[in-house]
Copies of this chain bind each other. A is one copy, B any other.
Amino acid sequence: MTKPRPPRKTRPTIVDVARRARVSIGTASRVINGYENVDADLKARVNAAIARLDYRPNTSAQDMRRGRTRLVGIVIRDIAVPQMAHFVKSAQDTLYSAGYSVLNASSENNVERELMLIETLSQRRVDGLITAVASEHDARLRKSLRSLGVPVVLLDREEPDSFDAVLVDHRGGTQRAVEHLLDLGHRRIALLTGKADVRPAYERVRGYEAAYKARGLTVDRSLISSESFTEAFAIGKTTALLVAADPATAIIAGGLAILPGMLQAIHTQQRRVPEDVSIISGSDSALAALFTPPITSVRWDYGEVGAAAARLLLERMQQKTDLPPRRVAFPTELVLRGSSAPPPSRRRS
């Protein structure tokens, strides 16, 4: 015989609050938004009503009225890559602190998919976007970003049209890595990285070439594989490099997912690091640091990069300054660890 109280189907609105507090909705709105010029008594009544009803303003409605959403999109290749997750987390925290919520999605390095994601974000009227576009050269992508009509910050991408960007010095890092290997006596140094339509890939290639030039040596382009950032590619290519007639004596993992694939292939082929082959990772990670032997790596601070991207975006969103695009560069450092040593030939001598 319990009296079935009618289930609250819809959540309370500002009208409910106003009615309960016996004030106009205007007054209720003022209290909700913390205006000062409200009579103490009325304010108290409104607050009581809010508490009683467990009222929460409907952001969609506020957004519509105010013409902004305080929503930011983050679109990257794959959030499951630890370093990416790091970046996202840091950017997210910064944005949350500023009152923004974050919508994120993985583009899988697929232009079509990324276009769809941007389309969705566009419909959701995000106030800004942080993205590592899948390709720097895709006209549709560029147009899509432009037509968003909101600030965009690129992660490690160059754009002729120029949005703001945060850029990591992969070139310098790779150059130092290669010079280090050359100095150890390596002459067959392979570089595995992604397709050249994206900055981290082509910058690593440039760094590689710069190192050879700096040492007065000529590059053997056949040792550079600028093809893909996937683990599968890393496994296949590494295997090929190891079993070749003239095997590579050192390999550089030029991408986040390259290292795991490379290590797996080396393990399968039963090669020892660094006795049989030296290794340098183009990005640091827990895996690189804790592996046995620890892996010499190009390092930078993902968290800082994420926070910087978020700050750039916040500044654009807040002051609608039509300043020229800004780019924040992040240096890299080569952390020497046990995975890089003289090549086998040198050892014998």
Contacts and interface: CB of A to CB of B under 8 A. Distances in A.
Interface of A: 8, 10-11, 54, 56-61, 63-64, 67, 69, 78-82, 84-86, 88-89, 92-93, 96, 101-106, 119-120, 122-125, 147, 149, 260, 263-264, 267, 286-287, 290-292
A123 B104 CA distance: 19
Contact of A78 (B89, B101, B292): B89
Contact of A101 (B67, B79, B103): B103
Given A89-B80, A106-B92, A292-B292, A67 B287 contact: no
Copies per complex? 2
Nearest to A292: B292
Interface centre among A11, A78, A82, A93 (most CB of B within 10 A): A82
A8 B147 CA distance: 11
B79 A82 contact: no
Contact of A60 (B63, B89, B119, B286): B63
Contacts of A10: 67
A193 B63 CA distance: 43
Contact of A122 (B56, B102, B260): B56
A231 to B, nearest CB: 9
A144 to B, nearest CB: 10
10 contacts: A8-B149, A11-B149, A56-B123, A58-B123, A60-B63, A60-B64, A79-B88, A80-B88, A93-B106, A290-B291
Contacts of A105: 92, 96, 101-102
Contacts of A291: 290-292
A260 B291 CA distance: 11
A59 B124 contact: yes
A10 B101 CA distance: 22
A85 B80 contact: yes
A227 to B, nearest CB: 21
Given A60-B60, A149-B11, A89 B69 contact: no
B79 A89 contact: yes
A147 B11 CA distance: 10
Contacts of A292: 291-292
Contacts of A92: 79, 104-106
A264 B290 contact: yes
A346 B348 CA distance: 40
Contact of A85 (B8, B79, B119, B124): B79
A57 B213 CA distance: 54
